[in-house]
Structure 1
Amino acid sequence: MTDPVLSDPQLPTFSSISPDRIKPELLELLNSNRQRIAKLVENPEATWDTLAQPMDDMSDQLNQMWSPVSHLNSVLNSDALREAYNGCIPELSQYSTEIGQNRSLYEAYAHIKSSGEFQRLNEAQQKSITNILRDFHLAGVDLADEKKAKYKEISQQLAELGSKFSDNVLDATQAWSKHLTSEEALKGLPKSALAGARQAAKSRNLEGYVLTLDFPSYYAVMTYAEDPELRREMYEAYNTRASDQGPHAGRYDNSRIMQDLLRLRREKALLLGFETFAHYSLATKMAQSPEEVLEFLNDLAEKSVMHARKEFAELEAFAREQGADTVDAWDVSYYAEKLKQERYAISEEELKPYFPAAKVINGMFTVVERLFGITLEEVSDFETYHPDVRYFRVKEDGREIASIYMDLYARENKRGGAWMADYAVRRRLDNGHIQKPVAFITCNFAPATDEHPALLTHNEVTTLFHEFGHALHHMLTQVDCYEVSGINGVAWDAVELPSQFLENWCWEEEALAMISGHYETGEPLPKDLLDKMLAAKNFQSAMMMVRQLEFALFDFRLHHEYAGEENFDILALMNEVRDKVAVIKAPAFNRFPHSFSHIFAGGYAAGYYSYKWAEVLAADAFSKFEENGVFDAKTGREFLHCILEKGGSREPMDLFVEFRGRPPKVDALLRHSGILPEAVAS
């Protein structure tokens, strides 16, 4: 069989994205699509080529128009761009609902499903048609006209509210900063953090130091600052963002937005015949019922909480030895870092010089080359929107198969966090050629300073591997069908499998030799530091486990238990969950939900449990490498062929079983977390 001809998509021309042209161009494209769809459904004998292929063409074209706009809105936000972006949200929502409720279009797809052609379609095409028909029902195609109109109105409001929630968090994050003229006030902060604070002051034309709520700055203060009042001040500013509390109380408050989102999500679910929004959310996931999710989370909590309480008791005892009367929420990271240093004689700061970003990136590429047989090659001549951005071609057997943009450093007007997004999806074009996929990776690491290049904590190294795992899932797919290519069509609670799976190599000695090297000498991570790092791997891992379970249980119960109350007590539910699983007492002013963008502005509503669900799959998948060798090429290619290449073309459980030879077990996750003893693990 000859290799398909691979075609480059037209890469985004960021400089041509003008805020005043975004909406007119979008409307022109949407109206053109509407006219094409009206013609397509006139054909009573729809086939893949006369219906599904042209619909995929339109989806792809829309994605390639909107994706760079959405990306710039997140990484280079401005008033004009935000206004243009938010002005398009209702148009996109209306268009999406129109498509989903188009009865003629639904019947045309249903015709393909019931025709003789369906059996002749390949596996990916069949799955695509099946998913599309399911999504028509979830978009309200069966509703009466009056209810369809209501659904459309709800969807539009939800899209606008999610965007507003996100804007408020970004604005609240940027609104706070603290200018200090004395280094004494920052006692305890490592050199790299001081350099970053100096750089932040310099960029504002100020002398001294500036602290911000960008994560590298916040993390450094919470972990190292000796002044408990400074830690408390920063903790409060960070954990009251976009709320009724804290230094900007009420200014960017998301309280009403959260209530409206809950109410509208429930209305949408009820319209479609679901009992709760949680039931609706699971219609496209691996988990079959809310009971299954809650049982999964509670079971993990039961296995972890006692360990977490023991870890916290040890931390409190240590803090008392250091002269502390109490351990408040803003003290936890500080004393945890000191205890870690005492116990293992190692700190994240000590490791940073060994993880310069350039070395980590090149080493990560070597890791995936050995596992999956691909190489990455940097391109210097490409159109960018910021000097920090780098662009790479992905090659297999010397032939380019995909490409990726990487934007890794925190800066003003950039949304916090880390994520992968796609620009172009692998798919078969009308001329039979295959379009190459293109990905974006965004992170918020501390940038280079005048004193040193960008240096990563080991946690940040893990974050980079995580996002790159998502990108591999998108870029290495062999599926040629838009709806199920790459991460498209993958059940949300399985989409984190490749990302969490790749994190494992950040802890393997052989891989660490590739991704580490002192930024001044090039010396690899010394054996004694490596041993200490590995020994400290599971330090407070049960506390980290219950923290994630706290978020997951809060999210799922919120969407399962909310029954339309006028002012549902979101914080009371948060505190109820905390009473059950949390070991760190949150202060009364804590407003974590108000900046919980994953569930209020992202795609994780009633789905945050997916991280833990997929972590079970990832740990169990990695255990096959532990058995066969962490760089065993045969096992690497099996993971490539069974998981990464298949995208959403088959059910994730079937793909996992094909790779692992059996259904997943939770043991590997508990063992990797140090919660289940090695001897007990099977």
Structure 2
Amino acid sequence: MNPLLNTFNSTYNTAPFSEIKTEHFLPALKKNIEEAKAEIDAIVNNNESPTFENTIEALDFSGEQLDRVSSIFFNLNSAETNETIQKIAQEISPLLSDFSNDITLNEALFKRVKSVYDSKDELDLTNEQLTLLDKRYKGFSRNGANLADDKKEKLREIDKKLSQLKLKFGENVLAETNAFEMLITNEADLSGLPDGAKEAAKQLAESKNKEGWLFTLDYPSYIPFMTYADNRELRKKLAISAGSKAFKGDKLDNQENVLNIVKLRHERANLLGYKTHAHFVLEERMAETPENVNSFLNDLLEKAKPAAQKEFKNLEQFAKELDNIDRLEKWDSAYYSEKLKQKLFSLDDELLKPYFKLEHVINGAFTIANKLFDLHFQEIDTIDKYHEDVLTYKVTDSKGDLISIFYADFFPRPGKRNGAWMTSFKPQFIKEGNNSRPHVSIVCNFTKPTKSKPSLLTFNEVTTLFHEFGHALHGMLANTTYPSISGTSVYWDFVELPSQVLENWCYEKEALELFATHYETGEVIPMDLVEKIKESATFHEGMQTLRQLSFGLLDMSWHGSESPENIKSVKAHESETFKNTTLYPDVIENCMSTAFSHIFQGGYSSGYYSYKWAEVLDADAFEYFKEAGIFNKEVALKFKDHVLSQGGTENPMKLYKRFRGQEPKPEALLKRAGLLK
């Protein structure tokens, strides 16, 4: 019996993970595709003339089971994968790509959609319906509906190849991450490392039947080593291994994949009548054009670069005075930054970590969500999970009504890719008067508890948790009619606003007092530490900004190029792009693009600038909260009603202005970052 072939009859309609076997996916997805095709045929063959309801709405609600099963499958491929799942992904991706093209290249269907679109002025549609109609029409016109038959075939070929290349890219990065291990057998080589990091490394070695201390490229292992280990040669070894992921000229090398992805995306954009892939993507973003993005990034660069250069010079001087380092290298960056931060602010992560026990931070995020949005989180064990580490919660409002099911998955393991992200297993929508609530998940890679210590987070991990939880709130509080514009289905350069704005609470005394208590004594974080967190918030902000901008500019250089077929060397192209943002000497063995999963595997191609773009929005939005009080119910309600619950129902700038009463001011960001003279 294949549980994926029927609607789930579990509590809250959640995914029946314990019943799902890997071999269920392929037959289920193939069958789901057939069923979805039949739904599309029914729309096309409807004898009644096209209306918003029988065409646009019917299209948005079609393929519900296919969407659910594929989201379960691809979420597992990111968080709990194995070779079999990866093989299925390679087989299923072209089928899904074909199915998607079957819809957008279906002439009869497009004719119906166009007929409704052309008569939209005579129809009495709500803002949300108009947005959906516009999105649906563009979904066809921007994806080949107006092409001649031979070009449609070409488009299908490109999409199929792209879906497989992106998967291959991600598989190579994960395999490279899992393949590297650095075993240390001489305890002297651990000098400088905190006890917690040593204990975790010992435990990891034991789990693999090895003597000594084991370090990997997983963040909870990699970051402490790069930040604290005194042994410069070992930091170099680790840094080069991390920086050379999928750049070794072997079977896991991604250079060809990068060049092919970029070429195919460009070819696809040209086929559809766009100058570059960036022009295609940005037409549906707040930024609108590559010119706007580049001018935004370069304007920030101009303001941040002098500060970054000054900070770098100070760091060089500091390393020279402290350890007689003649040339600061990339593997010195975190180490000497941390030492300088400790000197300037008497603050280091080891001092803070006891106040950030994972469970306390989770409860803190929940308490803040309760104070702002009246949400209640109750841990439940009556629903299935895909791994024993996953925590599951029922989220309700003040009336006790279900708002969402929430999954949280916090620790690294071999089947999970690095980093942190939010995703969903089921969207929110309203159908036949029933408001069907979302199932939302966040996935992170934090330090696991050890025999002697619980999971204690660095301050950076605390802000990461709040960031992903901000995305989760955007998903949970969704309250729209149509699934395709619900929750986080918004313009890509707007999606980071809810996540980034929530990070601000981590720096506020009123918020920290709610959850930052010492895991052994229960003592609330001392106010002098809170002051130091705030003071140090802009430490090396110039260098951080430069780094973020360099990634955004790299993304634009790949996807805004009018002749990517002329790019022959990934490394040379990257070095040329980084020329204006480089502080550290180049490392010949390293290349960022070959592991830049955000833009080559995830959805951030031509969109990496969004992080900085949304920072302007979030700094401006939080300014509003601060003026009224960070737990002000009125401002929180406005944010919930005009931003969080609205999904992609309207142009994001309209939604933002409705919340804020004005357009965002970039000064708020520059002021917060300490970059405003």
TM-score range, shorter chain: over 0.9
CA offset at residue 117 of structure 1? 9.3
Distance change in 2, residues 1:280/1:17 (3 Å)? same
Code of the residue aligned with 2:407 in structure 1: it is Y
Q: How far apart, CA to CA, are the structure 2 residues paired with 1:177 and 1:562? A: 41
SS for the counterpart of 1:292 is helix
**Equivalent in the alignment of 1:348:** 349
**Equivalent in the alignment of 2:291:** 291
The runs of 5 or more residues in structure 1 that have no matched partner are 1-6, 678-682
Greater shift after overlay, 543-552 or 191-200? Answer: 191-200
Code of the residue aligned with 2:93 in structure 1: it is I
Question: In the alignment, which of 26, 30, 51 is matched to residue 55 of structure 2?
Answer: 51
Distance change in 2, residues 1:348/1:216 (3 Å)? same
CA offset at residue 303 of structure 1? 0.4
SS for the counterpart of 1:322 is helix
SS for the counterpart of 2:560 is helix
After TM superposition, the structure 1 = structure 2 runs for residues 265-284 of structure 1, keeping only pairs within 5 Å, are 265-284=265-284
Q: How far apart, CA to CA, are the structure 2 residues paired with 1:51 and 1:275? A: 32
CA offset at residue 531 of structure 1? 1.7
CA offset at residue 92 of structure 1? 0.5
Q: How far apart, CA to CA, are the structure 2 residues paired with 1:293 and 1:251? A: 35
CA offset at residue 115 of structure 1? 4.3
Q: How far apart, CA to CA, are the structure 1 residues paired with 2:383 and 2:288? A: 45
CA offset at residue 129 of structure 1? 1.2
After TM superposition, the structure 1 = structure 2 runs for residues 111-510 of structure 1, keeping only pairs within 5 Å, are 111-115=115-119, 119-244=123-248, 249-323=249-323, 324-397=325-398, 398-429=400-431, 431-488=432-489, 490-510=490-510
Q: How far apart, CA to CA, are the structure 2 residues paired with 1:117 and 1:272? A: 27
Q: How far apart, CA to CA, are the structure 2 residues paired with 1:571 and 1:666? A: 33
C-alpha distance after superposition, 1:276-305 (max 9, x if no partner): 111011121111211111100000000000
Number of residue pairs matched?
665
Report if the CA contact (8 A) 1:277-1:559 is conserved.
yes
User: Percent same amino acid among aligned pairs?
Assistant: 40
Greater shift after overlay, 380-389 or 265-274? Answer: 380-389
TM-score, with structure 2 as normaliser: 0.96
Code of the residue aligned with 1:652 in structure 2: it is P
SS for the counterpart of 1:94 is helix
Code of the residue aligned with 2:335 in structure 1: it is Y
Code of the residue aligned with 2:278 in structure 1: it is A
**Equivalent in the alignment of 1:4:** none
**Equivalent in the alignment of 2:7:** none
CA offset at residue 52 of structure 1? 3.3
CA offset at residue 35 of structure 1? 2.0
Q: How far apart, CA to CA, are the structure 2 residues paired with 1:479 and 1:274? A: 32
CA offset at residue 118 of structure 1? 6.7
Report if the CA contact (8 A) 1:554-1:573 is conserved.
no
C-alpha distance after superposition, 1:251-277 (max 9, x if no partner): 410010001001100100000000111
Code of the residue aligned with 1:500 in structure 2: it is Q
CA offset at residue 458 of structure 1? 0.7
Code of the residue aligned with 2:37 in structure 1: it is R
**Equivalent in the alignment of 1:675:** 675
SS for the counterpart of 1:409 is coil
Code of the residue aligned with 1:475 in structure 2: it is M
Code of the residue aligned with 1:110 in structure 2: it is K
Report if the CA contact (8 A) 1:517-1:523 is conserved.
yes
Greater shift after overlay, 231-240 or 375-384? Answer: 375-384
**Equivalent in the alignment of 1:31:** 34
**Equivalent in the alignment of 1:581:** 581
C-alpha distance after superposition, 1:184-241 (max 9, x if no partner): 2111110111111011111101222110110111101110000000000000000001
C-alpha distance after superposition, 1:63-119 (max 9, x if no partner): 211111111111111111111122111100110111111121122222333447973
Code of the residue aligned with 1:223 in structure 2: it is T
CA offset at residue 588 of structure 1? 1.9
Q: How far apart, CA to CA, are the structure 1 residues paired with 2:368 and 2:635? A: 14
**Equivalent in the alignment of 1:680:** none
Q: How far apart, CA to CA, are the structure 2 residues paired with 1:60 and 1:639? A: 29
CA offset at residue 530 of structure 1? 1.6
Q: How far apart, CA to CA, are the structure 1 residues paired with 2:283 and 2:447? A: 39
SS for the counterpart of 2:676 is coil
SS for the counterpart of 1:580 is coil
TM-score, with structure 1 as normaliser: 0.95
Q: How far apart, CA to CA, are the structure 2 residues paired with 1:56 and 1:153? A: 25
Distance change in 2, residues 1:118/1:341 (3 Å)? farther
CA offset at residue 380 of structure 1? 2.1
**Equivalent in the alignment of 1:565:** 565
Code of the residue aligned with 1:641 in structure 2: it is D
Greater shift after overlay, 655-664 or 112-121? Answer: 112-121
Question: In the alignment, which of 16, 20, 29 is matched to residue 19 of structure 2?
Answer: 16
SS for the counterpart of 2:478 is coil
Report if the CA contact (8 A) 2:11-2:383 is conserved.
no
Q: How far apart, CA to CA, are the structure 2 residues paired with 1:424 and 1:78? A: 23
